[in-house]
Amino acid sequence: MTGLDPAIHAPVRLRMVALLAAVEEAEFAHVRDEIEVSDSVLSKHAGALEATGYVEIRKGHVGKRPRTWLRLTPRGRSAYKAHVAALQEIVAGSGLSLTRD
């Protein structure tokens, strides 16, 4: 399957990268809530995407509370675009229309 990126293809990772592609950065808790996973699941997948260079994880504080932010790197954004293009090519080959009827 040329063009599909195994680092992004897992459903949780694909949802995470799609969410991050739409924003500059997002707080960990927001991403967790939006993609409906536990802290540990998000942490595991974010770490895997960080290892590929697709996601940057930034830690800091808001007041006295620790916070974590996630950001899609330029490399991650490029990989996501290529992955989406490959998915669109697969769907186009099926004759299925992507527009709503």
Digit-coded pLDDT (tens) for 46-81:
999 999 999 999 999 999 999 999 999 999 999 999
Range list of β-strands (E), the chain: 26-27, 55-62, 65-72
Q: Which domain, by its residues, includes 88?
A: 6-92
Residue 40 domain-assigned?
yes
Number of domains in the chain: 1
Residue 47 domain-assigned?
yes
Q: In what order do the strands lie in the sheet with 65-72?
A: 26-27, 65-72, 55-62
- Nearest CA among 53, 55, 66 for reference residue 15: 55
Which CATH number belongs to the domain containing residue 23 in this structure? 1.10.10.10
- Nearest CA among 41, 38, 39, 53 for reference residue 8: 53
Give the pLDDT band (50/70/90) at residue 18: very high
Residue that is written with structure tokens 């974010």 in the block: 46
Q: How far apart are CA 5 and CA 77, in angstroms?
A: 12
Residue 100 domain-assigned?
no
With pLDDT > 70 as the criterion, what percentage of the chain qualifies?
92
Mean pLDDT of the 71-92 span: 94
Residue 101 domain-assigned?
no
Residue 97 domain-assigned?
no
